[in-house]
Structure 1
């Protein structure tokens, strides 16, 4: 996997397709209290309303839209999904 495929910017571009009419911004970032894993919440403003995604840093240095396997249940609990 090349560096561009690992970058948070490339994932934001791919998932949220920012434009001058629909900009994106980081609205939250940090570490979870349980596993200390990094996360970033990015929001795009669409005509229908805002759309936000969480991106999670994995141990291999990649950013993904799903939490690492070792902490997935902790992240889901933290997000209020369970």
Structure 2
């Protein structure tokens, strides 16, 4: 019996794989471009992690901000804020 091991990418959540894979997807596999972490911190409003990645290109610079979601995935859009919700139900007559 052969058991397949899960890759680290699938362990990180159901969203876009690990940050390294996502950066490679957005910036491309070109070895000519130098990619750097420009900033990493937490958002002021809900303290979620984000990373700003930059690359210096021949025609200028490119910066992309990646946000960490609750499921462990990284995305280029921020996670939805957890807002308390209330519902009303009709009373039984």
What TM-score bracket applies, with the shorter chain setting the length? Answer: 0.7 to 0.9
The answer for unaligned runs of 5 or more in structure 1 is 72-82
Structure 2 vs 1, CA of residues 19 and 42 (structure 1 numbering), >3 Å: closer, same or farther?
A: same
1:56 and 2:78 matched: no
In the other structure, the counterpart of 1:9 is 20
Of structures 1 and 2, the larger Rg is shown by 2
Which of residues 13, 26, 34 is equivalent to 2:37? 26
The answer for unaligned runs of 5 or more in structure 2 is 1-8, 83-93
Q: TM-score normalised to the size of structure 1?
A: 0.77
SS at structure 1 position matched to 2:38: strand
CA RMSD of aligned residues (A): 1.9
The runs of at least 4 consecutive aligned structure 1 residues that moved more than 3 Å come to none
**Structure with greater helix share of residues:** 1
